[in-house]
A and B are shown apart, each in its own frame.
Chain A
Amino acid sequence: MRANAISTLNEQQQQEEMIQARKRSSRRMLVLETLGVLVALTFFGIPFYFVLINSFKDRAGASLLNLSFPENFQFLNNYKEVLTLNDGVVLRAFMNSTIITVLSLTTIIIICSMAAFVIARRSGLAKKLNYVILIGLMIPPSIVPTIWLLQGMGLFKTFPGIISLEAGLHFSFACLLYTAFVGTIPKELDEAALMDGCGPFNLFFRVIFPLLKPVTSTVIVLSSIQIYNDFENMLYFFPGADNATVQLTLYNFTGIYGTEYHLLFADVLLISIPPLILFIFFNKKIVDGMTAGAVKG
């Protein structure tokens, strides 16, 4: 009887302790969570807030580079000024960047999926070509010879030139993704298609290519961000005022008369809108593609 009572007491005590421990750990969790959010807000939130708030200030206010609320609130003026500057160079840049991004992407998807199909299916070819493709992933493009070549072909400073170039420079990454994915599609499918009288073209474009949709969407998301954000290649291979692309428009506000911060930050925000939209709609896709591409490729 007494032993029984003691054991219940013990159990009660144990239960109490467990509840205490759980409380402690949940309190610790709460502290950790709050800390996490605070740290994230400090490190990632402040730069965004800084750009946003300064893009609403006037010239003098923005040049103070602080986080205070604008005294002279310029809600849309700065943005209007950025968009109308130099006969609308920013709008033209948006146009140019869109054309380059869309056409390079189309080229990348076509050439990489076709190449990957043969590379993955022909026995031994993938191994032989692996290093040739890998160097494109590691080695930076050689600048002056490329310019010289483009000039020789009459493609320097032209849309076909920069589009082919972007496609060539992004070939390796997309091709490796596609090759890995074609490998997971059973070969029996090809045999069945052959039995049904498919030729190579029909086999690829009507059977295989539709199955590559997951990789294609990964390539669309990742490569479009890279090409849209590309600064280096545009600087070297697509110079000239008419050829402005979005990244180069930022240059307009850091002139010899000092930086016009209010316009610079308004432009930073404007050119960040397309990636933001992409991010909102494809958040999960981007992360999946990033991990799939990176861990396997």
Chain B
Amino acid sequence: MNKNMNNMYPYFFLIPAILIYGTFFLVPTALSFFYSFTWWTLTDWEFIGFDNFIQFFQEPSLRIGFRNTLVFAFTTMGGKVILGLALAVFLTSKIRNKDLLRSIVFFPALLSTIAVGYTFSSMMHPTKGVINTILSFIGITGPNWLGNPDIALLSVAMTDIWKGVGIATVIFIAGLMAIPTHYYEALKIDGGSALQAFWHITLPLSRPAMNTVIILALIGGLRTFDLVWAMTGGGPGFSTDLLASIVYKQYAAGFFGLSTAGNVLLFLFVALVAFPIFKFINRKEVDL
């Protein structure tokens, strides 16, 4: 019977998946390790060892990608966790219109990143832009959001938070709904405050949802390309260049080996940041 049953799940059902996933994702990924050590023109290649990687770490315009990518990934992650949790708590409370509000908050997640990028870069125009016009009404002189190299990266990160906070909120809402209400009732009987309820019940018990948000936001943040491309193109200077946009620039300039090395570095970077956090979070979750 058992052997019979296994025959019911033949390995050849895996063949289409292996063909497509293998050919179009796994093989190029494996190849990228080889070509990152070469001077490559697509038709011809020459093995040059670690030169591409050395160049990546030596040239300031390339090296800045690491710092920017980290700043961007952690800023957007933090923003999405804090705002998402706050919104979720608000949207699971006893307010009316919460279905409408949930929809409003979630909708940007469905829009094209490029369209959102163009819209926000227009709204962030230093003199004419809507954001600074509104700020001037309340007496604040808004900064040059995308033109000032010190804050341009944060302006892009804010836009990313605006677009992505809806997903975080929805995940948090699902997590909060799963918390049994009798915990809150018990705390109320014991005379606990709303703050205590949040601190001792909501926060620890929304951990699984929070872990999901953290992982999704981090991986998304580390890989971001299109938002930066639409909003600043990496500028001013190289102040908003992320690893993914550097990979594109090197590719567009015809430095295929260097671009591939950037790809490998991005690959390793994601693995280095995401896997330990993934492991750490999973261990903590078991403890609960």
Where the two chains meet, the residues of A that have a C-beta atom closer than 8 Å to any C-beta of B are 29, 32-33, 36-37, 40, 43-47, 50-51, 64-67, 107, 110-112, 114-115, 117-119, 121-122, 132, 135-149, 151, 164-165, 167-169, 171-172, 175, 187, 190-191, 194, 200, 203-204, 225, 228-229, 231-232, 235-236, 246-247, 250, 254, 261, 264-265, 268, 271-272, 275-276, 278-279, 283, 286-287, 290-291, 294-295
The 10 A-B pairs of least Cβ separation, nearest first, read A168-B24, A142-B32, A291-B174, A115-B17, A145-B31, A145-B28, A146-B28, A275-B110, A111-B17, A268-B115
Residue among B10, B21, B111 facing the most chain A CB atoms (10 A cut-off): B21
Query: Once the chains bind, are A268 and B17 in contact (CB under 8 Å)?
Result: no
Q: Taking chain B's interface residues, is the majority helix, strand, or loop, or is none over half, making it mixed?
A: helix
Besides the contacts A145-B27, A265-B119, what 19 more A-B pairs have beta carbons closer than 8 Å?
A29-B94, A40-B104, A50-B122, A50-B130, A51-B119, A115-B18, A117-B9, A142-B263, A149-B27, A164-B20, A168-B24, A168-B25, A200-B8, A268-B118, A271-B112, A286-B110, A290-B170, A294-B171, A295-B209
> Could you pull out 14 A-B pairs where Cβ atoms are within 8 angstroms?
A32-B90, A46-B130, A50-B122, A50-B130, A65-B129, A122-B6, A146-B24, A149-B27, A151-B42, A231-B114, A231-B229, A235-B248, A250-B115, A286-B110
Per the bound structure, the CA–CA distance linking A250 and B122 in Å amounts to: 14
Nearest-neighbour CB distance to chain A for B138, whole angstroms, equals 12
- Of the candidates A40, A111, A246, A278, the one whose C-beta lies within 8 Å of that of B101 is A40
Question: Which residue in chain B gives the minimum CB-CB distance to A116?
Answer: B17
Query: Once the chains bind, are A272 and B95 in contact (CB under 8 Å)?
Result: no
Contacts of A235 in B (CB 8 A): 248
Contacts of A229 in B (CB 8 A): 110-113
Contacts of A225 in B (CB 8 A): 110
B106 at interface, CB cutoff 8 A: yes
Per the bound structure, the CA–CA distance linking A104 and B134 in Å amounts to: 43
Query: Once the chains bind, are B101 and A50 in contact (CB under 8 Å)?
Result: no
Query: Once the chains bind, are B251 and A143 in contact (CB under 8 Å)?
Result: yes
- Of the candidates A149, A169, A287, the one whose C-beta lies within 8 Å of that of B106 is A287
Nearest-neighbour CB distance to chain B for A92, whole angstroms, equals 17
Contacts of B130 in A (CB 8 A): 46, 50, 65-67
Known: A40-B104, A122-B6, A272-B115. A66 touches B13 (CB 8 A): no
Query: Once the chains bind, are A36 and B90 in contact (CB under 8 Å)?
Result: yes
Query: Once the chains bind, are B112 and A44 in contact (CB under 8 Å)?
Result: no
Per the bound structure, the CA–CA distance linking A190 and B10 in Å amounts to: 13
Query: Once the chains bind, are B274 and A138 in contact (CB under 8 Å)?
Result: yes
Residue among B13, B106, B209 facing the most chain A CB atoms (10 A cut-off): B13
Nearest-neighbour CB distance to chain B for A161, whole angstroms, equals 9
Where the two chains meet, the residues of B that have a C-beta atom closer than 8 Å to any C-beta of A are 1, 4-11, 13-14, 16-18, 20-21, 23-29, 31-32, 35, 40, 42, 90, 93-97, 101-108, 110-116, 118-120, 122-123, 125, 128-130, 133-134, 162, 167, 170-171, 173-175, 208-209, 212, 216, 219, 223, 225-226, 229-230, 244, 247-248, 251, 256, 259-260, 263-264, 266-267, 270-271, 274-275
Query: Once the chains bind, are A283 and B103 in contact (CB under 8 Å)?
Result: yes
Contacts of A290 in B (CB 8 A): 167, 170-171
Query: Once the chains bind, are B95 and A47 in contact (CB under 8 Å)?
Result: no
Query: Once the chains bind, are B162 and A140 in contact (CB under 8 Å)?
Result: no
Nearest-neighbour CB distance to chain B for A279, whole angstroms, equals 6
Per the bound structure, the CA–CA distance linking A115 and B22 in Å amounts to: 13
Contacts of B104 in A (CB 8 A): 40, 44-45
Known: A40-B104, A144-B256. A47 touches B123 (CB 8 A): yes
Query: Once the chains bind, are B8 and A141 in contact (CB under 8 Å)?
Result: no
Residue among A138, A268, A272, A290 facing the most chain B CB atoms (10 A cut-off): A138
Nearest-neighbour CB distance to chain A for B89, whole angstroms, equals 12
Per the bound structure, the CA–CA distance linking A143 and B263 in Å amounts to: 7
Question: Which residue in chain A gives the minimum CB-CB distance to B31?
Answer: A145
Query: Once the chains bind, are A118 and B226 in contact (CB under 8 Å)?
Result: no
Per the bound structure, the CA–CA distance linking A117 and B32 in Å amounts to: 31
Query: Once the chains bind, are A254 and B244 in contact (CB under 8 Å)?
Result: no
Contacts of A261 in B (CB 8 A): 122
